[in-house]
Amino acid sequence: MDRTAALGFSSFTLPSKKQVVKQITLDLTPDEAKNLENYCKQTGQAVTNVIEELIRGLPVA
């Protein structure tokens, strides 16, 4: 590749670093688990998405 072509690519940004993900285990009562399952069935959302959405909605002081 000649120098001109290589310089043309310098404007591309590299992808940002991969997000670090923290995995958690959540203990639910049978009633809580059933409520979550029913909610997900009604809304068509995945359990993970529902929990992530709830966490993002928490007020931060």
Half-sphere exposure of 29 (CA within 13 A, CB side): 3
**Sequence-separated (6 or more) residues with CB below 8 Å from residue 47:** 36, 37, 40
The C-alpha atoms of residue 51 and residue 38 are separated, in whole angstroms, by 14
The C-alpha atoms of residue 8 and residue 41 are separated, in whole angstroms, by 50
Mean pLDDT of the chain, nearest integer: 84
Domain contains 43: yes
Domain contains 11: no
Q: Look at the chain and report how many structural domains it folds into.
A: 1
Domain limits for position 58: 26-61
Domain contains 35: yes
pLDDT, mean of residues 27-33: 97
- Tell whether pTM > 0.75: no
Only one residue has tokens 């029913």, namely 38
* Residue 9 or 54, more confident: 54
Domain contains 15: no
Reply yes or no on whether the pLDDT at 40 is more than 70. Answer: yes
Domain contains 39: yes
